[in-house]
Chain A
Protein backbone atom coordinates (compact mmCIF):
# COMPACT_ATOMS: atom_id res chain seq x y z
CA UNK A 1 0.00 0.00 0.00
CA UNK A 2 1.21 3.52 -0.69
CA UNK A 3 0.38 6.86 0.89
CA UNK A 4 0.45 9.54 -1.79
CA UNK A 5 0.89 13.06 -0.50
CA UNK A 6 0.32 15.81 -3.05
CA UNK A 7 0.71 19.53 -2.41
CA UNK A 8 -1.15 21.43 -5.09
CA UNK A 9 -2.53 24.84 -5.91
CA UNK A 10 -5.87 25.29 -4.10
CA UNK A 11 -7.98 25.93 -7.19
CA UNK A 12 -6.87 22.56 -8.64
CA UNK A 13 -8.49 20.51 -5.90
CA UNK A 14 -11.75 19.73 -7.70
CA UNK A 15 -9.95 18.75 -10.90
CA UNK A 16 -7.65 16.39 -9.03
CA UNK A 17 -10.50 14.85 -7.11
CA UNK A 18 -12.45 14.28 -10.33
CA UNK A 19 -9.40 12.65 -11.89
CA UNK A 20 -9.02 10.16 -9.04
CA UNK A 21 -12.58 8.86 -8.82
CA UNK A 22 -12.45 6.82 -12.07
CA UNK A 23 -9.31 5.09 -10.78
CA UNK A 24 -11.22 3.54 -7.92
CA UNK A 25 -9.98 5.91 -5.24
CA UNK A 26 -12.76 5.96 -2.69
CA UNK A 27 -11.49 8.40 -0.10
CA UNK A 28 -8.91 11.03 0.54
CA UNK A 29 -7.96 13.64 3.14
CA UNK A 30 -7.53 17.30 2.33
CA UNK A 31 -5.89 19.98 4.41
CA UNK A 32 -5.28 23.67 3.84
CA UNK A 33 -1.61 24.35 4.30
CA UNK A 34 0.92 27.10 3.70
CA UNK A 35 4.27 26.68 2.12
CA UNK A 36 6.80 27.74 -0.44
CA UNK A 37 9.20 26.18 -2.85
CA UNK A 38 10.63 28.21 -5.64
CA UNK A 39 7.53 30.38 -5.89
CA UNK A 40 8.16 33.74 -4.26
CA UNK A 41 5.71 35.12 -1.70
CA UNK A 42 3.93 38.44 -1.74
CA UNK A 43 4.33 41.75 0.03
CA UNK A 44 1.46 43.02 2.12
CA UNK A 45 1.32 46.57 3.42
CA UNK A 46 -0.73 47.69 6.42
CA UNK A 47 -0.57 51.41 7.16
CA UNK A 48 2.95 51.61 5.91
CA UNK A 49 4.18 48.48 7.65
CA UNK A 50 5.43 46.05 5.01
CA UNK A 51 5.32 42.33 5.55
CA UNK A 52 6.87 39.97 3.09
CA UNK A 53 4.75 36.86 3.34
CA UNK A 54 6.72 33.91 1.99
CA UNK A 55 4.16 31.29 2.87
CA UNK A 56 1.55 30.80 0.18
CA UNK A 57 -1.73 28.96 0.61
CA UNK A 58 -1.72 25.45 -0.81
CA UNK A 59 -3.84 22.34 -0.49
CA UNK A 60 -2.43 19.01 0.69
CA UNK A 61 -4.13 15.80 -0.43
CA UNK A 62 -3.35 12.52 1.24
CA UNK A 63 -4.66 9.39 -0.38
CA UNK A 64 -3.93 5.77 0.56
CA UNK A 65 -4.02 3.37 -2.38
CA UNK A 66 -2.94 -0.18 -3.16
CA UNK A 67 0.48 -0.38 -4.70
CA UNK A 68 -0.74 -1.59 -8.07
CA UNK A 69 -2.58 1.63 -8.88
CA UNK A 70 -0.15 3.96 -7.15
CA UNK A 71 1.65 4.91 -10.34
CA UNK A 72 -1.60 5.68 -12.18
CA UNK A 73 -2.78 7.83 -9.32
CA UNK A 74 0.42 9.82 -9.37
CA UNK A 75 0.12 10.32 -13.14
CA UNK A 76 -3.50 11.41 -12.77
CA UNK A 77 -2.63 13.95 -10.12
CA UNK A 78 0.22 15.35 -12.17
CA UNK A 79 -2.02 15.75 -15.19
CA UNK A 80 -4.87 17.38 -13.25
CA UNK A 81 -2.79 19.68 -11.08
CA UNK A 82 -0.39 20.90 -13.72
CA UNK A 83 -0.52 24.51 -14.95
CA UNK A 84 3.03 24.94 -16.18
CA UNK A 85 3.55 27.98 -13.96
CA UNK A 86 5.83 28.02 -10.97
CA UNK A 87 4.17 26.83 -7.73
CA UNK A 88 2.34 23.76 -9.14
CA UNK A 89 3.46 21.68 -6.17
CA UNK A 90 5.00 18.32 -5.37
CA UNK A 91 4.01 14.70 -4.84
CA UNK A 92 5.56 12.30 -2.33
CA UNK A 93 4.94 8.56 -2.23
CA UNK A 94 5.36 6.74 1.09
CA UNK A 95 5.01 3.10 2.07
CA UNK A 96 2.14 2.24 4.37
CA UNK A 97 2.99 -0.40 6.96
CA UNK A 98 -0.56 -1.08 8.06
CA UNK A 99 -4.08 0.23 7.45
CA UNK A 100 -7.28 -0.38 9.47
CA UNK A 101 -10.93 0.53 8.85
CA UNK A 102 -12.16 1.65 12.23
CA UNK A 103 -15.81 0.72 11.82
CA UNK A 104 -15.30 -2.89 10.80
CA UNK A 105 -11.77 -3.73 11.84
CA UNK A 106 -10.79 -4.70 8.26
CA UNK A 107 -7.09 -4.38 7.64
CA UNK A 108 -4.69 -3.52 4.87
CA UNK A 109 -6.10 -3.90 1.37
CA UNK A 110 -9.68 -4.27 2.57
CA UNK A 111 -9.32 -1.08 4.58
CA UNK A 112 -8.41 1.13 1.61
Chain B
Protein backbone atom coordinates (compact mmCIF):
# COMPACT_ATOMS: atom_id res chain seq x y z
CA UNK B 1 0.00 0.00 0.00
CA UNK B 2 1.58 3.29 -0.91
CA UNK B 3 1.90 5.88 1.76
CA UNK B 4 -0.88 8.00 0.41
CA UNK B 5 -3.42 5.23 0.47
CA UNK B 6 -2.29 3.98 3.84
CA UNK B 7 -2.67 7.43 5.22
CA UNK B 8 -6.03 7.66 3.49
CA UNK B 9 -7.22 4.49 5.11
CA UNK B 10 -6.68 6.20 8.38
CA UNK B 11 -7.30 9.72 7.20
CA UNK B 12 -10.66 9.02 8.64
CA UNK B 13 -12.62 11.70 6.95
CA UNK B 14 -14.30 14.42 8.84
CA UNK B 15 -17.23 12.33 9.83
CA UNK B 16 -15.69 8.98 10.04
CA UNK B 17 -13.11 9.14 12.79
CA UNK B 18 -14.51 6.03 14.36
CA UNK B 19 -13.34 2.48 13.94
CA UNK B 20 -11.04 1.20 11.23
CA UNK B 21 -12.63 -1.30 8.89
CA UNK B 22 -11.00 -4.28 10.48
CA UNK B 23 -13.03 -3.93 13.68
CA UNK B 24 -15.39 -6.69 12.57
CA UNK B 25 -17.39 -6.77 15.72
CA UNK B 26 -18.53 -3.17 15.51
CA UNK B 27 -22.14 -2.95 16.60
CA UNK B 28 -24.74 -0.26 16.26
CA UNK B 29 -24.14 2.00 19.18
CA UNK B 30 -27.31 3.43 20.63
CA UNK B 31 -25.64 6.59 21.94
CA UNK B 32 -23.86 7.35 18.68
CA UNK B 33 -26.99 6.67 16.67
CA UNK B 34 -29.15 8.77 18.95
CA UNK B 35 -26.76 11.67 18.62
CA UNK B 36 -26.57 11.40 14.82
CA UNK B 37 -30.36 11.23 14.54
CA UNK B 38 -30.65 14.27 16.79
CA UNK B 39 -28.00 16.10 14.80
CA UNK B 40 -29.90 15.32 11.63
CA UNK B 41 -32.95 17.03 13.04
CA UNK B 42 -30.84 20.00 14.15
CA UNK B 43 -29.29 20.39 10.72
CA UNK B 44 -32.66 20.21 9.01
CA UNK B 45 -33.87 22.90 11.38
CA UNK B 46 -31.03 25.03 10.05
CA UNK B 47 -32.69 25.06 6.65
CA UNK B 48 -36.32 25.02 7.66
CA UNK B 49 -36.93 27.42 9.19
CA UNK B 50 -33.46 28.69 10.12
CA UNK B 51 -32.17 29.76 6.74
CA UNK B 52 -35.66 30.58 5.51
CA UNK B 53 -36.08 33.12 8.30
CA UNK B 54 -32.51 34.39 8.13
CA UNK B 55 -32.77 35.20 4.45
CA UNK B 56 -36.40 36.29 4.38
CA UNK B 57 -35.77 38.77 7.15
CA UNK B 58 -33.24 40.55 4.98
CA UNK B 59 -35.25 41.01 1.80
CA UNK B 60 -37.93 43.54 0.98
CA UNK B 61 -41.51 42.83 1.98
CA UNK B 62 -42.60 41.96 -1.54
CA UNK B 63 -40.12 39.06 -1.70
CA UNK B 64 -40.39 37.52 1.77
CA UNK B 65 -42.64 34.61 0.88
CA UNK B 66 -40.71 33.80 -2.27
CA UNK B 67 -37.46 33.73 -0.31
CA UNK B 68 -38.92 31.38 2.28
CA UNK B 69 -40.32 29.23 -0.47
CA UNK B 70 -36.82 28.75 -1.85
CA UNK B 71 -35.54 27.14 1.34
CA UNK B 72 -38.66 25.13 1.96
CA UNK B 73 -39.02 23.82 -1.55
CA UNK B 74 -35.32 23.07 -1.96
CA UNK B 75 -35.64 20.90 1.15
CA UNK B 76 -38.28 18.85 -0.62
CA UNK B 77 -36.56 18.81 -4.00
CA UNK B 78 -33.16 17.78 -2.75
CA UNK B 79 -34.62 15.12 -0.46
CA UNK B 80 -36.06 13.34 -3.45
CA UNK B 81 -33.03 13.93 -5.65
CA UNK B 82 -30.74 12.63 -2.89
CA UNK B 83 -32.85 9.57 -2.45
CA UNK B 84 -33.00 8.82 -6.15
CA UNK B 85 -29.36 9.37 -7.12
CA UNK B 86 -27.61 12.03 -5.09
CA UNK B 87 -26.57 9.78 -2.23
CA UNK B 88 -25.33 7.10 -4.54
CA UNK B 89 -23.32 9.55 -6.60
CA UNK B 90 -21.78 11.02 -3.47
CA UNK B 91 -21.08 8.00 -1.33
CA UNK B 92 -21.13 5.04 -3.66
CA UNK B 93 -17.65 3.68 -4.09
CA UNK B 94 -17.21 4.54 -7.76
CA UNK B 95 -13.85 6.15 -8.48
CA UNK B 96 -11.88 9.17 -7.32
CA UNK B 97 -14.24 11.71 -8.90
CA UNK B 98 -17.71 10.22 -8.81
CA UNK B 99 -19.60 7.65 -6.81
CA UNK B 100 -21.75 5.12 -8.58
CA UNK B 101 -25.34 4.01 -8.98
CA UNK B 102 -25.21 1.18 -6.48
CA UNK B 103 -27.73 2.93 -4.29
CA UNK B 104 -29.99 4.29 -7.01
CA UNK B 105 -33.37 4.83 -5.34
CA UNK B 106 -31.56 3.62 -2.22
CA UNK B 107 -31.74 0.07 -3.49
CA UNK B 108 -29.92 -2.41 -1.33
CA UNK B 109 -30.45 -0.36 1.79
CA UNK B 110 -32.62 -3.05 3.33
CA UNK B 111 -29.86 -5.67 3.24
CA UNK B 112 -28.01 -4.40 6.31
CA UNK B 113 -30.58 -1.98 7.62
CA UNK B 114 -29.97 -2.90 11.25
CA UNK B 115 -26.23 -3.38 11.09
CA UNK B 116 -23.54 -0.77 11.57
CA UNK B 117 -22.69 0.95 8.33
CA UNK B 118 -19.27 0.75 6.71
CA UNK B 119 -18.56 3.60 4.35
CA UNK B 120 -16.59 2.54 1.34
CA UNK B 121 -17.19 -1.12 2.08
CA UNK B 122 -14.98 -3.29 -0.06
CA UNK B 123 -12.35 -0.62 -0.68
CA UNK B 124 -8.97 -0.25 0.95
CA UNK B 125 -9.85 2.87 2.84
CA UNK B 126 -13.20 1.67 4.11
CA UNK B 127 -14.27 2.97 7.48
CA UNK B 128 -16.72 1.34 9.81
CA UNK B 129 -19.20 3.33 11.82
CA UNK B 130 -21.44 2.45 14.71
CA UNK B 131 -24.62 3.80 13.16
CA UNK B 132 -27.02 2.33 10.62
CA UNK B 133 -26.74 3.45 7.00
CA UNK B 134 -30.19 5.00 7.14
CA UNK B 135 -28.98 7.42 9.79
CA UNK B 136 -25.81 8.20 7.88
CA UNK B 137 -27.58 8.93 4.64
CA UNK B 138 -30.24 11.01 6.39
CA UNK B 139 -27.59 13.06 8.13
CA UNK B 140 -25.80 13.59 4.84
CA UNK B 141 -29.08 14.46 3.17
CA UNK B 142 -29.53 17.45 5.44
CA UNK B 143 -26.13 18.74 4.29
CA UNK B 144 -27.13 18.19 0.67
CA UNK B 145 -30.27 20.18 1.39
CA UNK B 146 -28.73 23.21 3.05
CA UNK B 147 -25.96 23.71 0.51
CA UNK B 148 -28.16 24.73 -2.43
CA UNK B 149 -30.44 26.62 -0.07
CA UNK B 150 -27.43 28.76 0.81
CA UNK B 151 -26.84 29.64 -2.83
CA UNK B 152 -30.32 31.15 -2.98
CA UNK B 153 -28.98 34.03 -0.93
CA UNK B 154 -27.01 35.20 -3.92
CA UNK B 155 -29.83 35.30 -6.42
CA UNK B 156 -32.55 36.51 -4.09
CA UNK B 157 -35.13 38.91 -5.47
CA UNK B 158 -34.67 38.11 -9.13
CA UNK B 159 -34.57 34.44 -10.10
CA UNK B 160 -37.48 32.56 -11.64
CA UNK B 161 -38.82 29.78 -9.45
CA UNK B 162 -39.01 27.31 -12.34
CA UNK B 163 -35.43 28.03 -13.33
CA UNK B 164 -34.31 27.68 -9.74
CA UNK B 165 -35.90 24.24 -9.44
CA UNK B 166 -34.25 22.89 -12.56
CA UNK B 167 -30.92 24.47 -11.69
CA UNK B 168 -30.93 23.11 -8.14
CA UNK B 169 -31.70 19.56 -9.25
CA UNK B 170 -28.84 19.60 -11.75
CA UNK B 171 -26.50 21.33 -9.33
CA UNK B 172 -27.17 18.87 -6.55
CA UNK B 173 -26.37 15.90 -8.78
CA UNK B 174 -23.51 17.34 -10.79
CA UNK B 175 -21.78 19.68 -8.35
CA UNK B 176 -22.70 18.83 -4.77
CA UNK B 177 -22.52 15.05 -5.02
CA UNK B 178 -19.18 14.95 -6.82
CA UNK B 179 -17.50 17.36 -4.40
CA UNK B 180 -18.96 15.51 -1.42
CA UNK B 181 -17.54 12.38 -2.96
CA UNK B 182 -14.07 13.86 -3.40
CA UNK B 183 -13.86 14.95 0.23
CA UNK B 184 -15.87 12.45 2.24
CA UNK B 185 -15.96 9.15 0.35
CA UNK B 186 -13.03 6.85 1.08
CA UNK B 187 -12.45 6.52 -2.65
CA UNK B 188 -12.53 10.28 -3.20
CA UNK B 189 -9.35 11.97 -4.31
CA UNK B 190 -9.33 14.75 -1.72
CA UNK B 191 -9.98 12.17 1.00
CA UNK B 192 -6.95 10.29 -0.27
CA UNK B 193 -4.93 13.47 -0.46
CA UNK B 194 -5.40 13.98 3.26
CA UNK B 195 -7.08 17.38 3.39
CA UNK B 196 -8.99 18.12 6.57
CA UNK B 197 -12.65 19.07 6.38
CA UNK B 198 -14.50 18.09 9.50
CA UNK B 199 -18.05 19.06 8.63
CA UNK B 200 -18.10 20.65 5.20
CA UNK B 201 -16.07 23.83 4.89
CA UNK B 202 -15.35 22.96 1.27
CA UNK B 203 -18.27 20.71 0.43
CA UNK B 204 -20.92 23.04 1.79
CA UNK B 205 -19.68 26.55 2.36
CA UNK B 206 -16.98 27.28 -0.21
CA UNK B 207 -19.06 25.33 -2.68
CA UNK B 208 -22.26 27.29 -2.05
CA UNK B 209 -20.44 30.58 -1.64
CA UNK B 210 -18.60 30.41 -4.93
CA UNK B 211 -21.64 29.03 -6.75
CA UNK B 212 -23.54 31.96 -5.29
CA UNK B 213 -21.00 34.43 -6.60
CA UNK B 214 -21.26 32.92 -10.06
CA UNK B 215 -25.05 33.14 -9.88
CA UNK B 216 -24.85 36.77 -8.82
CA UNK B 217 -22.56 37.56 -11.73
CA UNK B 218 -24.54 35.62 -14.33
CA UNK B 219 -27.94 36.89 -13.26
CA UNK B 220 -26.74 40.43 -12.89
CA UNK B 221 -27.62 43.11 -10.38
CA UNK B 222 -31.07 43.73 -9.06
CA UNK B 223 -33.01 46.62 -10.57
CA UNK B 224 -32.26 49.73 -8.63
CA UNK B 225 -29.20 48.26 -6.93
CA UNK B 226 -27.20 51.12 -5.54
CA UNK B 227 -30.02 53.64 -5.82
CA UNK B 228 -33.27 52.15 -4.52
CA UNK B 229 -33.96 51.54 -0.89
CA UNK B 230 -33.49 47.82 -0.42
CA UNK B 231 -33.46 47.87 3.36
CA UNK B 232 -34.46 44.63 5.10
CA UNK B 233 -38.15 44.52 5.83
CA UNK B 234 -38.07 42.58 9.07
CA UNK B 235 -34.72 41.97 10.68
CA UNK B 236 -36.35 40.30 13.67
CA UNK B 237 -37.01 37.31 11.41
CA UNK B 238 -33.35 37.30 10.50
CA UNK B 239 -32.32 37.29 14.16
CA UNK B 240 -34.53 34.31 14.88
CA UNK B 241 -33.18 32.56 11.81
CA UNK B 242 -29.59 33.21 12.82
CA UNK B 243 -30.23 31.82 16.29
CA UNK B 244 -31.69 28.66 14.79
CA UNK B 245 -28.65 28.39 12.55
CA UNK B 246 -26.31 28.78 15.52
CA UNK B 247 -27.95 26.12 17.64
CA UNK B 248 -28.53 23.88 14.64
CA UNK B 249 -24.85 24.12 13.82
CA UNK B 250 -24.14 21.96 16.84
CA UNK B 251 -25.73 19.18 14.86
CA UNK B 252 -23.79 20.21 11.75
CA UNK B 253 -20.39 20.19 13.45
CA UNK B 254 -20.63 18.05 16.55
CA UNK B 255 -22.85 15.61 14.69
CA UNK B 256 -20.14 15.18 12.09
CA UNK B 257 -18.14 13.30 14.69
CA UNK B 258 -20.66 10.52 14.05
CA UNK B 259 -20.06 9.44 17.60
CA UNK B 260 -21.30 10.71 20.94
CA UNK B 261 -18.16 11.29 22.88
CA UNK B 262 -15.03 13.39 23.20
CA UNK B 263 -14.84 14.33 19.55
CA UNK B 264 -18.39 15.60 19.49
CA UNK B 265 -17.84 17.43 22.72
CA UNK B 266 -14.73 19.18 21.49
CA UNK B 267 -16.37 20.00 18.17
CA UNK B 268 -19.35 21.57 19.90
CA UNK B 269 -17.09 23.59 22.16
CA UNK B 270 -14.99 24.85 19.26
CA UNK B 271 -18.15 25.72 17.35
CA UNK B 272 -19.57 27.84 20.15
CA UNK B 273 -16.33 29.68 20.80
CA UNK B 274 -15.77 30.50 17.16
CA UNK B 275 -19.32 31.73 16.71
CA UNK B 276 -19.15 33.95 19.75
CA UNK B 277 -15.74 35.35 18.84
CA UNK B 278 -16.92 36.19 15.35
CA UNK B 279 -19.96 38.02 16.69
CA UNK B 280 -17.60 40.18 18.71
CA UNK B 281 -15.12 40.85 15.94
CA UNK B 282 -17.70 41.66 13.24
CA UNK B 283 -19.65 43.87 15.63
CA UNK B 284 -16.60 45.74 16.84
CA UNK B 285 -15.22 46.12 13.33
CA UNK B 286 -18.52 47.63 12.26
CA UNK B 287 -18.81 49.78 15.36
CA UNK B 288 -15.39 51.25 14.72
CA UNK B 289 -15.79 51.81 11.01
CA UNK B 290 -19.46 52.70 10.66
CA UNK B 291 -20.23 54.19 14.03
CA UNK B 292 -22.92 51.83 15.28
CA UNK B 293 -22.93 48.14 16.22
CA UNK B 294 -25.79 46.74 14.18
CA UNK B 295 -28.00 43.75 14.85
CA UNK B 296 -27.52 42.59 11.28
CA UNK B 297 -23.79 42.78 11.85
CA UNK B 298 -23.92 40.74 15.04
CA UNK B 299 -25.94 37.94 13.50
CA UNK B 300 -23.86 37.98 10.34
CA UNK B 301 -20.75 37.69 12.47
CA UNK B 302 -22.17 34.63 14.17
CA UNK B 303 -22.80 32.93 10.85
CA UNK B 304 -19.35 33.85 9.58
CA UNK B 305 -17.72 32.30 12.63
CA UNK B 306 -19.83 29.19 12.33
CA UNK B 307 -18.90 28.82 8.68
CA UNK B 308 -15.21 29.23 9.38
CA UNK B 309 -15.13 26.70 12.21
CA UNK B 310 -16.98 24.11 10.11
CA UNK B 311 -13.91 22.51 8.52
CA UNK B 312 -11.98 22.85 11.78
CA UNK B 313 -14.49 21.94 14.47
CA UNK B 314 -13.24 18.49 15.44
CA UNK B 315 -9.59 19.21 14.70
CA UNK B 316 -8.76 22.30 16.70
CA UNK B 317 -8.52 23.27 20.34
CA UNK B 318 -10.60 26.05 21.90
CA UNK B 319 -7.78 28.60 21.64
CA UNK B 320 -7.57 28.04 17.91
CA UNK B 321 -11.35 28.23 17.64
CA UNK B 322 -11.16 31.66 19.24
CA UNK B 323 -8.64 32.79 16.65
CA UNK B 324 -10.68 31.36 13.80
CA UNK B 325 -13.76 33.16 15.08
CA UNK B 326 -12.06 36.53 15.55
CA UNK B 327 -10.41 36.43 12.16
CA UNK B 328 -13.44 35.26 10.22
CA UNK B 329 -15.74 37.79 11.84
CA UNK B 330 -13.54 40.68 10.82
CA UNK B 331 -12.59 39.42 7.35
CA UNK B 332 -16.13 38.44 6.40
CA UNK B 333 -17.31 41.86 7.53
CA UNK B 334 -14.79 43.34 5.12
CA UNK B 335 -15.82 40.93 2.37
CA UNK B 336 -19.55 41.56 2.72
CA UNK B 337 -19.12 45.31 2.74
CA UNK B 338 -15.95 46.68 1.22
CA UNK B 339 -15.00 43.86 -1.14
CA UNK B 340 -18.51 43.60 -2.50
CA UNK B 341 -18.63 47.29 -3.21
CA UNK B 342 -15.16 47.30 -4.70
CA UNK B 343 -15.89 44.49 -7.13
CA UNK B 344 -19.41 45.63 -7.80
CA UNK B 345 -21.31 42.35 -7.76
CA UNK B 346 -24.80 42.04 -6.29
CA UNK B 347 -24.65 39.05 -3.99
CA UNK B 348 -27.93 39.99 -2.38
CA UNK B 349 -27.53 38.18 0.91
CA UNK B 350 -23.76 37.70 0.92
CA UNK B 351 -23.60 34.00 0.16
CA UNK B 352 -20.05 34.55 -1.10
CA UNK B 353 -18.99 37.15 1.42
CA UNK B 354 -19.93 35.01 4.39
CA UNK B 355 -19.96 31.40 3.21
CA UNK B 356 -17.38 31.57 0.48
CA UNK B 357 -14.84 33.75 2.25
CA UNK B 358 -15.60 32.27 5.67
CA UNK B 359 -15.17 28.77 4.32
CA UNK B 360 -11.86 29.61 2.69
CA UNK B 361 -10.55 31.25 5.86
CA UNK B 362 -11.62 28.29 7.95
CA UNK B 363 -10.20 25.69 5.61
CA UNK B 364 -6.83 27.41 5.41
CA UNK B 365 -6.59 28.09 9.14
CA UNK B 366 -7.40 24.44 9.78
CA UNK B 367 -4.25 23.63 7.87
CA UNK B 368 -2.24 25.66 10.34
CA UNK B 369 -4.11 25.12 13.59
CA UNK B 370 -5.12 21.45 13.50
CA UNK B 371 -4.12 19.75 16.73
CA UNK B 372 -2.91 16.29 15.94
CA UNK B 373 -4.11 14.32 18.95
CA UNK B 374 -7.72 15.20 18.18
CA UNK B 375 -7.53 13.09 15.04
CA UNK B 376 -5.36 10.36 16.50
CA UNK B 377 -6.35 6.76 15.98
CA UNK B 378 -4.92 3.29 16.42
CA UNK B 379 -2.45 3.71 13.58
CA UNK B 380 -1.60 7.39 13.97
CA UNK B 381 -0.89 8.18 17.57
CA UNK B 382 0.20 11.69 16.75
CA UNK B 383 -2.89 12.35 14.73
CA UNK B 384 -3.97 12.27 11.11
CA UNK B 385 -4.39 16.01 10.67
CA UNK B 386 -1.55 17.98 12.15
CA UNK B 387 -1.29 21.70 11.56
CA UNK B 388 1.72 22.59 9.44
CA UNK B 389 2.97 23.20 5.91
CA UNK B 390 2.03 19.74 4.65
CA UNK B 391 -1.56 19.95 5.80
CA UNK B 392 -1.79 23.56 4.75
CA UNK B 393 -0.74 22.61 1.25
CA UNK B 394 -3.42 19.95 1.11
CA UNK B 395 -5.96 22.48 2.26
CA UNK B 396 -4.94 24.88 -0.49
CA UNK B 397 -5.35 22.13 -3.07
CA UNK B 398 -8.74 21.12 -1.73
CA UNK B 399 -9.96 24.70 -1.59
CA UNK B 400 -8.62 25.49 -5.04
CA UNK B 401 -10.16 22.42 -6.62
CA UNK B 402 -13.53 23.10 -5.02
CA UNK B 403 -13.55 26.71 -6.17
CA UNK B 404 -12.48 25.83 -9.70
CA UNK B 405 -14.92 23.02 -10.20
CA UNK B 406 -17.93 24.68 -8.67
CA UNK B 407 -17.30 27.96 -10.48
CA UNK B 408 -17.07 26.33 -13.89
CA UNK B 409 -19.81 23.77 -13.40
CA UNK B 410 -22.22 26.28 -11.88
CA UNK B 411 -21.61 28.66 -14.76
CA UNK B 412 -22.32 25.97 -17.33
CA UNK B 413 -25.47 24.79 -15.59
CA UNK B 414 -26.77 28.34 -15.32
CA UNK B 415 -26.20 28.94 -19.00
CA UNK B 416 -28.00 25.73 -19.91
CA UNK B 417 -30.98 26.59 -17.74
CA UNK B 418 -30.99 30.12 -19.13
CA UNK B 419 -31.27 28.81 -22.66
CA UNK B 420 -34.03 26.36 -21.86
CA UNK B 421 -36.14 28.33 -19.41
CA UNK B 422 -34.62 31.71 -18.76
CA UNK B 423 -33.13 32.55 -15.38
CA UNK B 424 -34.40 35.96 -14.45
CA UNK B 425 -37.84 37.46 -14.04
CA UNK B 426 -38.74 40.46 -16.20
CA UNK B 427 -38.17 44.00 -15.00
CA UNK B 428 -41.89 44.54 -14.33
CA UNK B 429 -42.08 41.31 -12.39
CA UNK B 430 -39.06 42.26 -10.35
CA UNK B 431 -40.56 45.63 -9.50
CA UNK B 432 -43.90 44.08 -8.64
CA UNK B 433 -42.32 41.56 -6.29
CA UNK B 434 -41.74 37.82 -6.49
CA UNK B 435 -44.36 36.85 -3.93
CA UNK B 436 -47.29 37.85 -6.04
CA UNK B 437 -45.68 37.26 -9.44
CA UNK B 438 -44.23 33.79 -8.84
CA UNK B 439 -46.53 32.45 -6.17
CA UNK B 440 -49.74 34.47 -6.33
CA UNK B 441 -49.49 35.34 -2.68
CA UNK B 442 -48.94 38.41 -0.61
CA UNK B 443 -47.96 39.17 2.95
CA UNK B 444 -50.68 41.77 3.22
In the bound complex, CA of A46 to CA of B238 (Å): 12
Q: Kindly list chain B residues whose C-beta atoms are within 8 Å of the C-beta of A49.
A: 230, 337
Question: Can you spell out 28 A-B residue pairs with CB atoms less than 8 angstroms apart?
Answer: A44-B231, A45-B290, A45-B292, A45-B294, A46-B58, A46-B231, A46-B232, A46-B294, A46-B296, A47-B296, A47-B297, A47-B300, A47-B336, A47-B337, A47-B350, A48-B290, A48-B336, A48-B337, A48-B338, A48-B340, A48-B341, A49-B230, A49-B337, A51-B229, A51-B230, A51-B231, A53-B229, A53-B231
Q: Kindly list chain B residues whose C-beta atoms are within 8 Å of the C-beta of A47.
A: 296-297, 300, 336-337, 350
The minimal Cβ–Cβ distance linking A45 to chain B, given in whole angstroms, is 6
Taking residues whose C-beta sits less than 8 angstroms from the other chain, chain A's interface range is under 10
Which 8 A-B residue pairs are closest in the complex by CB-CB distance? Answer: A48-B337, A51-B229, A47-B336, A51-B231, A45-B290, A46-B296, A47-B337, A44-B231
The minimal Cβ–Cβ distance linking A28 to chain B, given in whole angstroms, is 25
Q: Kindly list chain A residues whose C-beta atoms are within 8 Å of the C-beta of B336.
A: 47-48
In the bound complex, CA of A49 to CA of B347 (Å): 12
Work out how many contacts link A and B, with CB atoms closer than 8 A. 28
The minimal Cβ–Cβ distance linking A13 to chain B, given in whole angstroms, is 23
User: Chain B residues in contact with chain A, CB under 8 A?
Assistant: 58, 229-232, 290, 292, 294, 296-297, 300, 336-338, 340-341, 350
User: Chain A residues in contact with chain B, CB under 8 A?
Assistant: 44-49, 51, 53
Q: Given contacts A46-B294, A47-B297, A51-B229, could you give 15 more A-B pairs where the C-beta distance is less than 8 Å?
A: A46-B58, A46-B231, A46-B232, A46-B296, A47-B296, A47-B300, A47-B337, A47-B350, A48-B290, A48-B336, A48-B338, A49-B230, A49-B337, A51-B230, A53-B229
In the bound complex, CA of A51 to CA of B294 (Å): 14
Q: Kindly list chain A residues whose C-beta atoms are within 8 Å of the C-beta of B231.
A: 44, 46, 51, 53
Which chain A residue lies CB-closest to B231? A51
Q: Kindly list chain A residues whose C-beta atoms are within 8 Å of the C-beta of B232.
A: 46
In the bound complex, CA of A32 to CA of B231 (Å): 20
The minimal Cβ–Cβ distance linking A104 to chain B, given in whole angstroms, is 33
Chain B CB within 10 Å — which of A45, A46, A48, A53 has the most? A48
Q: Kindly list chain A residues whose C-beta atoms are within 8 Å of the C-beta of B300.
A: 47
Which chain A residue lies CB-closest to B297? A47
Chain B CB within 10 Å — which of A45, A47, A53 has the most? A47
Which chain A residue lies CB-closest to B353? A47
In the bound complex, CA of A49 to CA of B297 (Å): 12
In the bound complex, CA of A51 to CA of B336 (Å): 16
Q: Kindly list chain A residues whose C-beta atoms are within 8 Å of the C-beta of B337.
A: 47-49
The minimal Cβ–Cβ distance linking B238 to chain A, given in whole angstroms, is 10
The minimal Cβ–Cβ distance linking B228 to chain A, given in whole angstroms, is 9
In the bound complex, CA of A45 to CA of B229 (Å): 11
Q: Kindly list chain A residues whose C-beta atoms are within 8 Å of the C-beta of B296.
A: 46-47
In the bound complex, CA of A47 to CA of B336 (Å): 7
The minimal Cβ–Cβ distance linking B150 to chain A, given in whole angstroms, is 16
The minimal Cβ–Cβ distance linking A33 to chain B, given in whole angstroms, is 17
Which chain B residue lies CB-closest to A48? B337
The minimal Cβ–Cβ distance linking B229 to chain A, given in whole angstroms, is 5
Which chain A residue lies CB-closest to B289? A48
In the bound complex, CA of A45 to CA of B231 (Å): 8
In the bound complex, CA of A48 to CA of B291 (Å): 11
Q: Kindly list chain B residues whose C-beta atoms are within 8 Å of the C-beta of A46.
A: 58, 231-232, 294, 296
The minimal Cβ–Cβ distance linking A95 to chain B, given in whole angstroms, is 35
Which chain B residue lies CB-closest to A54? B229
Which chain B residue lies CB-closest to A55? B229
Q: Kindly list chain A residues whose C-beta atoms are within 8 Å of the C-beta of B230.
A: 49, 51
In the bound complex, CA of A47 to CA of B230 (Å): 12
